[in-house]
Amino acid sequence: MSTPEPGIQTHGLILPDLSGAVPTSIEARAKHRIAALEEELQTMKQERGTKQRKTTYYVAQGRVVRRMVVLYTSLEDLVAENDRRYEEDLVDDMAEGTPEQNRLQRGYLALAQSLLWLHAKLGKLDIEDSEDMLKKIKRGADAARGDDTSTLKDLIATWVNQDFRPSPLLRSDDKQLRGFIHDLCGKLLCPAEWDWSNDRVKAGIRERTSDYIVSENSWPLFVYDNYTFNANDLEKGLFMSKILVQAFKAIFTSPSSAREADGDGDGADILENNRHARRSLNGQVKVKTCVASIINMRKVTPRSIAYVVCQVRFSLSSVSSWRTVDGDFDYEGFWNNVVDFFEDVPGPVAQHRVSKLLEWWTRKIFGKNHRQDLTPEIVSKMSVTALAEQRKALEDAAFDSE
């Protein structure tokens, strides 16, 4: 059988020449290129949309980090410490770590509890994608910290003016007259072991003499209940001040809930009402939810207290932009000191006192509600369940007697 010459049409198809290409019209080739470009564009749009959704998700999820996990430490350091412990088989042994290493590991555990999906996700991503994810989480973390700083700047001025009636009154839009230059702010910021009413102390702090160095190594007076200090019992009233409770409520439940800080909190009711509102509206109307509801927070944690303490300290100061160091005062070291007070206790006696303090905090913020403690086992012993079982038993007995 003879082979047709190249370029000879057979049954309507022009066979390829020696190049192997089947001849096509200019219009057909243009259509092919357009279709390929459209497909490529659609793929790019889908990839961009997926990337944008991931970015939005990571940033939103990251808002919990500064509030509940770490205020300054990098997430990479937390991950590295957890990896080190796993490689050295030290996951369950805090005794062998340094205080800094143990603080990092507790931070990783807090991170894994706050972002339940993160630990597994880190194990699946390559290095580049993992770094990108952590960068986006950090963006959300810093944005939330900035929002809280801005909120408290106004609210702290309102609370101080209402409770103390200082002269001059604090301005919500200006921090220049706060800090040690303002008599009341100076008193609240003053290390508790010094007497702010002593003119020598006041002058020494304001002039920053070597005899009166204000650093993270002193508890400021504002962290104490009733803003009073007992030199013979340094732990009495520590972290129980009204302004801390107000700030915690403003950040985690709502600014309006901070108006009442003397009695038990109503945070549990706020969370429950948020849940019912979202369920009843079924997404038809956007319901503003509080931070505690978003992160499913039901109990106050040591690191959330440390976060609030640092935020209040910054709000009372004259510094206008967030920073790690303010003069001789190191905020990172201060945050570490607060966290260590709760987490690095010397023994069971101190642990008991810390547990009681955390219970006090949870009651102040969320009230005395304990719905989260109603386990199926506890509910099974209550009268509604017991009555249901009795009625069923009576029915069964009647059926058997017939």
Instruction: Give Cβ neighbours of residue 144 (< 8 Å, ≥ 6 apart).
Output: 62, 63, 64, 65, 66, 67
Greater confidence, 146 or 373? 146
Candidate from 135-139, 245-249, 292-296 with smallest mean pLDDT: 292-296
Q: What is the pLDDT of residue 401?
A: 77
Q: What is the pLDDT of residues 136-165, one digit of tens each?
A: 999 999 999 999 999 999 999 999 999 999
d(CA 191, CA 160) in angstroms, rounded, equals: 19
| pLDDT mean over 115-134 | 95
| Whether 293 contacts 366, CB under 8 Å | no
Average per-residue pLDDT for the chain: 88
Q: How far apart are CA 194 and CA 202, in angstroms?
A: 9
**pLDDT of 115:** 96
Cβ–Cβ < 8 Å for 170, 185: yes
Handedness of CA 77, 83, 88, 90 (dihedral sign): positive
Is the pLDDT reported for residue 10 higher than 60? no
Three-state SS for 278-327 is HHHHCCCCCCCCCHHHHCCCCCCCHHHHHHHHHHHHHHHCCCCCCCCEEC
The alpha carbons of the chain give a radius of gyration, in whole angstroms, of: 31
Which structure tokens are listed for 12?
A: 């309507």
Identify the pLDDT of residue 11. Answer: 52
